[in-house]
Amino acid sequence: MHKYEKLWLSVGTGSLIVFLVILIITGLHNGHTPAASGREYINPDKVDQIEPFNKPGLHKVKGKNYDYELVFVASAFNYQPGNVEIPKGSTVKIIATSKDTLHGFNLPGTNVNMMLEPGHISEYVKKFDKKAEYLIICNEYCGIGHADMKSMIKVVDKK
């Protein structure tokens, strides 16, 4: 092998190693870790019988670092509940799962974007600071009725 070929091979291999090391360090430093929840998986056939999914909707909570829990269940081209009103300034923990197939949970214009797998519990905490309407869309193709799968979150003034 010619000395220039060895040099370029060494430079390419070294660059790859440096790139991977930077990627791993950055991922660990930013807290990218696998989900580690005790209730990470439930039986998707019994979602309607398991708390909190047996009562989808907005629920006030006490003693947590958020004000409300918003529970969603995705199935067959719809979200339960269909429409939700949240008081402005509230911090909400969104808890969602799917009963049947892979679905998406996306609030365009925000950083809320979850993949809902059957039986897997997805969670996201978001503060709703401004009065607005957020259309929830499924951004994972889930079948023929996928385009009609929508829900709405309305942030309203506190009562």
CATH architecture of the domain 44-156 equals: Sandwich (2.60)
Q: Cβ contacts of residue 46 below 8 Å, gap of 6+? A: none
| Strands 90-98 and 57-60, bridge-based pairing | unpaired
Match 């193709």 to its residue by tokens.
141
Task: Please write the tens of the pLDDT for every residue from 103-136.
Answer: 999 999 888 999 999 989 999 999 999 999 999 9
User: Distance of CA 142 to CAs 68, 98, 119, Å?
Assistant: 29, 11, 15
Under 8 Å between Cβ of 67 and 90: yes
pLDDT for res 38: 47
User: Distance of CA 14 to CAs 1, 7, 20, 21, Å?
Assistant: 18, 10, 10, 11
The domain limits of the chain are 1-31, 44-156
- The pTM of this model reads 0.73
Q: What are phi and psi of 27, to 5 degrees?
A: -60, -45
Task: Please write the tens of the pLDDT for every residue from 50-106.
Answer: 899 999 999 999 888 899 999 999 998 899 998 999 999 999 999 999 999 999 999
